[in-house]
Each structure stands twice: as C-alpha cells, then as structure tokens.
C-alpha cells in the first residue's frame, strides 16, 4: 500500500507523515517513508538528530539510481533513455522493503523506528509538475500486500500535488 500526504505549504504533511509512519511501524508493520517534500524535514520529525547529516539523497546520483532500477530491462539500454515517468518493464528492479537490499543500504536511514529515504533539496527546475519523480527516477515499490510506503510531497505553489 502506498500512502501520500499532500497539501499546501505548512498544512501538516510532514508532521502527519511522521506520526503515521511511527504509529504504523510501532504496530510491527513494514514501513518505508519517503521525504519528497520541498522542505526536507521528515527525518527530524521522525526523531533524527537535527545536527546529524541527512541520509544520502535519492536525487544526488540519478545515474546510479536509474541504472539500478532499469536492471536488465532490454527496453532501456542506458540511464540516458529514462525520463521522469518511464515505467518499469521486464527485468526492471523493483524497490523491496528488505533493508539488506542495495538501494536501501545505499540511501536509507532509520529514525524513530522508521526507515526512510529523502529526495534531497529541490531547485527551481524540479518544482511545479515535476515533483518527486525528478529526484527518484520513478523507483516503484513492489506491489505486495505487506508493504506500506508513506510519502510527503508538496508542490511549488503549495497546491495539491498530482504526481504521487
Ligand atoms: N495537527 C496539528 N495541529 C497544530 N499544529 C500542527 C498540526 N500539524 C502540524 N502542525 C504544525 O504546523 C506547522 C507545519 O507543519 P508541517 O511542517 O508538518 O507542514 P508541511 O505541510 O510539511 O509544511 P511544508 O509545506 O513547509 O513542508 C508545524 O509548525 C507543525 O508543528
Ligand atoms: Mg513538510
């Protein structure tokens, strides 16, 4: 199950996503939280030390991320052929919630009992309709019943997002 917390600026997306993620993780459910908000505060809201460096940003090395998610997909011969909304296909690597997986080992951190990812800071070219796809190369979570992903996301003008 994927759950998105969207809304205008300052409406409580990050707070609600952090509380929901902690509550769900506290029930023993597997949770992966993704901070795709323009203001990247989810880690601190979960309980991370504000003075500690954030986890490695998904948007920081898009070539690695695209190569990872395209996997052995013969339709995508290189990372350059992937655009923001390229869907997964045969041979693509899906995001697993197993913390020993390569992607989570590279990018995720844990705060308040919740494993989380961060897209990294947004700049002008990312905002508007681009939203978090521009930072994540559209990694898709495995559509399994046991998964639960929460995302916090906002848009440039603070209106409701359409891309989560
Ligand atoms: N249910 C609530 N009642 C009162 N205050 C709240 C509530 N939820 C959040 N807040 C407060 O509102 C402010 C904005 O919350 P938050 O940062 O979660 O919003 P946001 O939508 O993620 O903001 P941004 O768009 O800046 O990322 C914070 O000071 C937070 O403590
Ligand atoms: Mg926020």
Token pair for residue 117? 């990812």
Task: Evaluate if residue 63 carries a pLDDT over 70.
Answer: yes
Task: Evaluate if residue 37 carries a pLDDT over 80.
Answer: yes
Are 161 and 9 spatial neighbours (Cβ–Cβ below 8 Å)? no
User: Which pLDDT belongs to residue 38?
Assistant: 87
* pTM for this model (two decimals): 0.81
User: Which pLDDT belongs to residue 84?
Assistant: 77
Task: Evaluate if residue 40 carries a pLDDT over 70.
Answer: yes
Task: Evaluate if residue 124 carries a pLDDT over 80.
Answer: no
List the alpha helices (DSSP H) in 28-156. 42-46, 62-70, 102-107, 133-136
Token pair for residue 159? 């209106």
Beta bridge partners of 111: 114
Q: Is 96 in the pocket of ligand 1 (CB under 6 A)?
A: no
Task: Please tell me the least confidently modeled range out of 38-42, 61-65, 115-119, 154-158.
Answer: 154-158
User: Which pLDDT belongs to residue 136?
Assistant: 59
**CATH top class, domain 2-60+96-153:** alpha beta
User: What number is the average pLDDT over the span 137-155?
Assistant: 48
Residue nearest to atom 16 of ligand 1 (CA): 12
68-121 pLDDT per residue, tens: 999 999 999 999 988 878 889 999 999 889 999 999 999 999 999 999 999 998
Residue nearest to atom 10 of ligand 1 (CA): 12
Task: Evaluate if residue 134 carries a pLDDT over 90.
Answer: no
Percentage of the chain beyond pLDDT 70 is 76
φ, ψ of residue 65 in degrees (nearest 5): -65, -45
Tracing tokens 């992937």 back to the chain, one arrives at 82
The mean pLDDT of the chain is: 83
Q: Is 14 in the pocket of ligand 1 (CB under 6 A)?
A: yes
């Amino acid at each position: 199950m994927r759950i998105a917390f969207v809304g205008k600026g300052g409406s409580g997306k990050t707070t609600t996503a952090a509380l929901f993620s902690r509550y769900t993780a506290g029930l023993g459910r597997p949770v992966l939280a993704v901070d795709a908000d323009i203001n990247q505060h989810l880690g601190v809201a979960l309980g991370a030390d504000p003075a500690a460096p954030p986890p490695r940003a998904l948007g920081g090395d898009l070539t690695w991320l695209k190569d990872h998610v395209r996997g052995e997909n013969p339709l995508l011969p290189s990372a350059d052929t992937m655009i923001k909304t390229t869907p997964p296909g045969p041979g693509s690597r899906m995001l697993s919630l197993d913390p020993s997986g390569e992607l989570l080992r590279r990018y995720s951190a844990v705060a308040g009992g919740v494993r989380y990812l961060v897209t990294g800071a947004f700049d002008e070219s990312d905002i508007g309709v681009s939203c978090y796809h521009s930072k994540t190369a559209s990694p898709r979570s495995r559509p399994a019943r046991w998964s639960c992903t929460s995302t916090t996301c906002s848009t440039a003008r603070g209106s409701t997002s359409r891309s989560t």
